Amino acid sequence: MAQITTLAEFITERQHEFTYATGELSQLLTSFRLAGKMVNREVNKAGLAEDILGAQGSQNIQGEAQQKLDVYANDLFLRLLKSQGMVCAVASEENDDIVHFDNGGKYVVTMDPLDGSSNIDVNVSIGTIFSIYRRLSEGAKATMDDFMQPGSAQVAAGYIIYGSSTMLVYTTGHGVNGFTLDPSIGTFCLSHPNMQTPAEGKIYSVNEGNYFEFSDGVRNYIDDCKRQLMSARYIGSLVADFHRNLLKGGIYLYPATKKAPKGKLRLLYEANTLAMIVEQAGGMATDGTTRILDLKPTELHQRCPLYIGSKAMVEKAMSAGK
Ligand code: AHG
Ligand code: MN
Ligand code: MN
């Protein structure tokens, strides 16, 4: 029988790769591991429990209707991160401002607690996206500058996908590893060691409903994908679209549109996280001109265009856009 490595064992084995103190990464990731299992439990009973499906009746700062599971997942991650004591403050998609814990913790977290949440009610894969940064400031309270670091400063980045199985994928800058939740024992087990994305792929993922809103360059690129008989695949959950393309090879693009010149996706807790992961897996992520990880954030909920996936495809999309 093949050897089974649990996520907890793996983190301990690899903790020497983490630049900071021994054991810190393990503690940091524990909240995500645990919250991931709890969100997974709620997601799986979404069709049964009346208080899980549907809209919360409120909106987040971006004017999007919050789903009940958005709020549940956000509260849960915040509660676990706070109780664990190493994270000083969190920037979440679901909170207008920084959530401060004022505990002097050495790290800050950015997160999209539930990504693709409009897909919850229709039984389609959703996810959680998170990034961990070392704080720049000192003292009890974190500052805005702690969150305005470029993506290249991330000390860890990861996502959880609640799909036909639930997986946690993360990197600390030493490759990417994926763990699948065995629901019978409630444990994430190493299933995808040292993930590498193919340099070239046959999938393009874009919301083509926006086709006439895109620039000529982007439209030309999409037309070219069709001429090459590539497969169009678009779930509408970034984590799920990204995860499929990471494994199979492909490009995901959410370009600028006439209505949204900065695109839709958020730099701090969508683009940066997945950019670090894709680069660690041999792929590429840009905003059309600049490497995502080099962008200097100026706002918490800043948006940016995103071209991410197999290197050759992202390079081609970039040159088509010029
Ligand atoms: P969220 O559910 O966290 O607000 O994110 C939704 C995002 C992302 O998951 C997805 O790729 C994208 O919105 C889809 O946007 P369109 O519906 O405009 O294609
Ligand atoms: Mn999202
Ligand atoms: Mn979300």
Strand positions, DSSP E, 135-243: 154-162, 166-171, 176-182, 187-192, 203-205, 231-232
64 has a pLDDT exceeding 90: no
Contact 9, 130 (CB under 8 A): no
CA of 16 to the centre of ligand 3 (A): 32
* 116 within ligand 1 shell (Cβ under 6 A): yes
The residue type of 72 is Y
Mean pLDDT to the nearest integer, 56-72 = 72
* 127 within ligand 1 shell (Cβ under 6 A): no
* 264 within ligand 1 shell (Cβ under 6 A): yes
Model pLDDT for residues 165-195, shown as the tens digit of each residue? 999 999 999 999 999 999 999 999 999 999 9
62 has a pLDDT exceeding 80: no
Distance, in Å, from the CA atom of 318 to the CA atom of 298, rounded to the nearest integer, reads 24
Model pLDDT for residues 145-154, shown as the tens digit of each residue? 999 999 999 9
When pLDDT is cut at 50, 70 and 90, the band that residue 279 belongs to is very high
Contact 40, 162 (CB under 8 A): yes
* 61 within ligand 1 shell (Cβ under 6 A): no
Domain shared by 78 and 156, yes or no? yes
* 70 within ligand 1 shell (Cβ under 6 A): no
Domain shared by 34 and 179, yes or no? yes
CA of 115 to the centre of ligand 2 (A): 4
Domain shared by 140 and 209, yes or no? no
Mean pLDDT to the nearest integer, 106-131 = 94
- Ligand nearest to the CA of residue 269, numbered in listed order: 2
| CATH code where residue 145 lies | 3.30.540.10
Distance, in Å, from the CA atom of 128 to the CA atom of 119, rounded to the nearest integer, reads 13
* 64 within ligand 1 shell (Cβ under 6 A): yes
51 has a pLDDT exceeding 70: no
Domain shared by 175 and 37, yes or no? yes
Number of domains in the chain: 2
Last residue of a domain, one of 136, 168, 192: 192
- Ligand nearest to the CA of residue 92, numbered in listed order: 3
Q: What pLDDT shows up at residue 46?
A: 65
- Give the residue among 54, 96, 97 at the shortest CA–CA distance from 72: 54
Contact 39, 46 (CB under 8 A): no
242 has a pLDDT exceeding 90: yes
* 205 within ligand 1 shell (Cβ under 6 A): no
Most confident among 18-22, 61-65, 78-82 (mean pLDDT): 78-82
CA of 109 to the centre of ligand 3 (A): 15
Q: What pLDDT shows up at residue 322?
A: 58
